[in-house]
Amino acid sequence: MEPIEELEQDALELPAEPMRLNMGPSHPSMHGTIRMVLDLDGETIVNVDVQPGYLHRGFEKSCERGTWTQVFPYTDRLNYVSPMLNNVGFALAVEKLIGVEVPERCQYYRVILGELARISDHLTCNGAAAMELGAFTPLLWLLKVREWVYDVLERETGARMTHSFGRIGGMAAPPTETLADDIREVIPQVHKVVAETESLLLHNRIFLDRMQGVGNLSKEHALGFGCTGPVLRSTGVDYDVRKDHPYMVYDRFDFEVPIGHDGDNYDRFMVRMEEIRQSCRIIEQALEQMPKDGPISIDDPRLTTPDKGKVYTTIEATIAHFKLVMEGHKVPKGQVYGYTEAGNGELGFFLVSDGGGTPYRVRVRPPCWFGLQAAREMLLGEMIADIIPTFGSVNMIGGECDR
């Protein structure tokens, strides 16, 4: 038997090769279907290969089959947590290509519904973040108030999630009479629940330890990866499309763009929390400023289908309806990039029209795709358990990311 003294001291450690582990594509604690191939040294992540695409369903190609209006239901299914923002983003891009602007009342209406959608988006993301760290109560509380936000959207659009409410040149229907009252009832509830949630979490040692200093992303990396939205702002970059390239009537509102400084999970969480409050501010101001009456859609039968009553009784309206439904909007030949601030950042639609009634090409810049690219940078060197909150705070939405 060999004398033990002859062994070097380090050799007592078991030789550990990196272990390769597949996480996903179907994993109970992952958001959506995504696969991560991990190289682990013990519990530490040495390398991670993030593989999206499991929810690819040919969104962009599908858009080339129908008319321009028929794209709206598809956009609902991009970021399905805030479909109204996608509806509005697509409508704005097409309107930019046509060169028209919707009536003022419609612009306010779009802002209000869009900000409600943003609130529901952030409530969901942050609720899930807490839940994944073992705090189930905040999730239930936040989803409770999200349901109330959905109630408002349902009363306005007829659907809780997939509204398909946007139209080229306006919205499908004017606001209901109770819009202002409904919203003024729900906004204090949002404030209350957000405050309660913060009181539960922000003094919680476990929550803070798991969030602060975990999943760090530097400003340079965030910019380099093309991140926008909460992921970029959490690193300290003050960029919000609504402020920097105001569209619709966003330049008429007084609101702040919250930014973080570390770019960690905690900052991303807090940026979203604060954005909920800012969205509430925008909505309150928009309700004040919104004209009480006036058209909600552009009064041009080439863009907006006439009333059903007229369609059934007059030939001109029948023709307008026929042309818009069977052939689609004659969007002028050309291309356009329309961009708005969606829940996860800059949602861009690059559209090409050949002058027919059907999109020639629809390309989406899905905001969470860029956050997802940065996920590797955030995760390197972290523990395996940190994947869940970090990936959650990127808020990758399969419908949008994989299209």
Residues that bind other proteins (CB under 8 A): 300-302, 306, 310, 312-320, 322-323, 326-327, 330
**Shortest Cβ 312–other proteins spacing (Å):** 7
**Shortest Cβ 356–other proteins spacing (Å):** 12
Task: Give 250: exposed, middle or buried? Use CB within 10 Å, 0-12, 13-18, 19+.
Answer: buried
Distance CA 308, CA 73 (A): 21
Distance CA 98, CA 90 (A): 12
Closest to other proteins by CB, 140 vs 319, is 319
Closest to other proteins by CB, 25 vs 301, is 301
Closest to other proteins by CB, 312 vs 337, is 312
Closest to other proteins by CB, 246 vs 301, is 301
Closest to other proteins by CB, 170 vs 258, is 170
Closest to other proteins by CB, 159 vs 325, is 325
**Shortest Cβ 311–other proteins spacing (Å):** 8
Pull the structure tokens for residue 194.
């957000």
**Shortest Cβ 361–other proteins spacing (Å):** 22
Closest to other proteins by CB, 353 vs 390, is 353
Question: What distances in angstroms separate CA 231 from CA 123, 267, 277, 319, one per listed residue?
Answer: 16, 9, 18, 48
Q: Which residues pair with 400 in a beta bridge?
A: none
Closest to other proteins by CB, 27 vs 323, is 323
**Shortest Cβ 355–other proteins spacing (Å):** 12
**Shortest Cβ 320–other proteins spacing (Å):** 7
Closest to other proteins by CB, 12 vs 326, is 326
Closest to other proteins by CB, 217 vs 311, is 311
**CA nearest neighbour of 88 among 142, 153, 183, 184:** 153
**Shortest Cβ 315–other proteins spacing (Å):** 4
**Shortest Cβ 357–other proteins spacing (Å):** 10
**Shortest Cβ 329–other proteins spacing (Å):** 10
**Shortest Cβ 105–other proteins spacing (Å):** 21
